[in-house]
Amino acid sequence: GENVEQHPSTLSVQEGDSAVIKCTYSDSASNYFPWYKQELGKGPQLIIDIRSNVGEKKDQRIAVTLNKTAKHFSLHITETQPEDSAVYFCAATLNTGNQFYFGTGTSLTVIP
């Protein structure tokens, strides 16, 4: 099956700086890569996603890039704010199935 690795496990940045979280996957058949943000005491919420026919996608301060050849994708958050502090999860899913394979999460702290 698919194996998703996520780095780093913790990340601290100063407010206004950028944050980058990286994930790698093992199965070249994976074609959908969502990113979730989980705030304390809440369920994971989808913040951005990318499909394998696209190399980059942006939504305001958040962007995701995908390198299919290297089998890795990254979340970029620019101009970080304290409310960006949360745990972020990446995931990958195969074209033929519904199951998501999640990374182990990155705890992001934005220091005011």
Partner 1 sequence: DAGVIQSPRHEVTEMGQEVTLRCKPISGHNSLFWYRQTMMRGLELLIYFNNNVPIDDSGMPEDRFSAKMPNASFSTLKIQPSEPRDSAVYFCASSSNLGTGGKTQYFGPGTRLLVL
Which spans of this chain sit near partner 1 (rule: CB under 8 A)? 31-34, 36, 42-46, 49, 51, 89, 93, 95, 98-100, 102, 104-105
Question: Which residue number, 46 or 111, has a Cβ lying nearer to partner 1?
Answer: 46
In the complex, least distance from residue 44 CB atom to partner 1, rounded to whole angstroms? 5
In the complex, least distance from residue 103 CB atom to partner 1, rounded to whole angstroms? 8
Q: Residue 23: beta bridge partners?
A: 6, 73
Closest C-alpha to 39, from 76, 87, 82: 87
In the complex, least distance from residue 98 CB atom to partner 1, rounded to whole angstroms? 5
User: Do residues 112 and 16 make contact, with C-beta atoms less than 8 angstroms apart?
Assistant: no
In the complex, least distance from residue 68 CB atom to partner 1, rounded to whole angstroms? 14
Q: Which amino acid does the sequence have at 92?
A: A
The alpha carbon torsion through 51, 61, 67, 55 (nearest 10 deg) reads 50
Question: Which residue number, 1 or 112, has a Cβ lying nearer to partner 1?
Answer: 1
For residue 88 the two structure tokens come to: 């972020």
Question: Which residue number, 49 or 63, has a Cβ lying nearer to partner 1?
Answer: 49
